[in-house]
Amino acid sequence: MNANAIVALSNLLGGVIQIMMVDPFYRDILLSMQSEGRSKPSDEELAAIQARLSGALGQLDSAIDEKRGG
Amino acid sequence: MPTPKYYTPTFKRIAWTYAYVIGVFVLMFALAGVLQGCDMNRVKPQTPGQAVVDAYGLLEKSAVLTTQLLQTDVITVQQAIEWRDKIIAAKTALDSAQLALNLGDTSTAIGRLQAAQVILNILAEYVASHQGAPPKPEPVPLLGPQATALADGKAPGTLAIINSVLDIVVEA
């Protein structure tokens, strides 16, 4: 097995594990909703969720701008 | 200490071959265990509201993965922009699903949620073509009368909403 194959395999395994890992933030909210029998997230939870998504989109925008600039 | 007579180059080659094969099997079993454990840790949504939370999580992961793939030059800027537009379209659908839930309009919420899930599936296919196996959203949990209405095609505007969002995606 050559070095390229090892790098490709480790990248693939890392990617699969990273994608499959459950984010504890969302897991905790879902578990809390299910244990408390709530059908909707609370206002605080929803605000936190939307802030995280907006943050991730902001980072994506920054990366796009950086690549365009570079 | 004298080297044993059986410790020849041929013996070493065969031993390494066996060790390599056994090592690969151990690695595969370990990986299968990790993946199974991770999947079991995933909390499956049981109501449309919980499915919205789950979809938000997958959407955030899509945005993070897209950023990583762009930063490591796996995808181009143009591809990143295309994916970002789809993420924003799904976010809009989820925001509107959440709003409909707050207003008590579950049928509309389910339609918006399904539209977001269609886009999430498209994003998952994109990510899959570049990195590993992606997560896909769980089917929207339907309550009794809503499930019947959707199955009969009587839910207000569900298919039209999905089609309109898909049109936006295709045009983007």
Q: Is B23 in the same domain as B5?
A: yes
Written as six digits, the tokens of A23 are: 């984010």
Q: How far B125 CA sits from the closest chain A CA (Å)?
A: 13
Rounded to the nearest angstrom, the gap between the alpha carbon of residue B30 and the centroid of all alpha carbons in its chain is: 22
* Three-state secondary structure string covering B101-144: HHCCCHHHHHHHHHHHHHHHHHHHHHHHCCCCCCCCCCCCCCCH
Q: Residue A70 — very low, low, confident or very high, per pLDDT cuts 50/70/90?
A: low
- For residue A8, being part of any structural domain is answered with no
Classify the complex by whether its ipTM is higher than 0.85, answering yes or no: no
Whether this model's pTM surpasses 0.95: no
Separation between Cα atoms, residue A13 and residue B51, nearest integer Å = 28
Per-residue model confidence (pLDDT) at position B172: 41
The parent domain of residue B32 ranges over 1-41
- Give percent above pLDDT 90 in chain B: 11
- For residue A51, being part of any structural domain is answered with yes
Q: Is B7 in the same domain as B50?
A: no
Q: Is B147 in the same domain as B112?
A: yes
- For residue A61, being part of any structural domain is answered with yes
- For residue A44, being part of any structural domain is answered with yes
Q: Is B65 in the same domain as B93?
A: yes
Chain A environment of B78 (Cβ under 8 Å): none
Number of CB pairs < 8 Å for A and B? 119
Q: Is B94 in the same domain as B133?
A: yes
- For residue A40, being part of any structural domain is answered with yes
Q: Which residue of B has its CA nearest to A27?
A: B43
Per-residue model confidence (pLDDT) at position B155: 41
CB contact A2 to B (< 8 Å): no
Contact A53 B59 (CB under 8 A): yes
Q: Is B24 in the same domain as B80?
A: no
The parent domain of residue A44 ranges over 23-70
Contact A56 B41 (CB under 8 A): no
Number of domains in chain B: 2
Q: Among residues B86, B72, B74, which one has the least CA distance to residue B170? A: B86
Q: Is B111 in the same domain as B57?
A: yes
* Higher-pLDDT residue of B172, A4: A4
Contacts of A16 (CB under 8 A, 6+ apart): B31, B35, B132, B133
- For residue A9, being part of any structural domain is answered with no
* Higher-pLDDT residue of B122, B86: B86
pLDDT tens string B39-95 = 555 678 888 888 899 889 888 988 988 898 888 888 889 989 998 999 999 999 999
Q: Which residue of B has its CA nearest to A49?
A: B56
Q: Is B58 in the same domain as B142?
A: yes
* Three-state secondary structure string covering B42-106: CCCCCCHHHHHHHHHHHHHHHHHHHHHHHHCCCCCHHHHHHHHHHHHHHHHHHHHHHHHHHCCCH
For residue A18, pLDDT over 60 is answered with no
Written as six digits, the tokens of B107 are: 């049928």
Separation between Cα atoms, residue B2 and residue B23, nearest integer Å = 29
Contact A64 B84 (CB under 8 A): yes
Q: Is B71 in the same domain as B141?
A: yes
* Higher-pLDDT residue of B157, B115: B115
Kindly give the interhelix angle for B106-128 and B158-171, rounded to the nearest 10 degrees: 30
Number of domains in chain A: 1
Q: Is B110 in the same domain as B49?
A: yes
Per-residue model confidence (pLDDT) at position B61: 86
Separation between Cα atoms, residue A54 and residue B143, nearest integer Å = 31
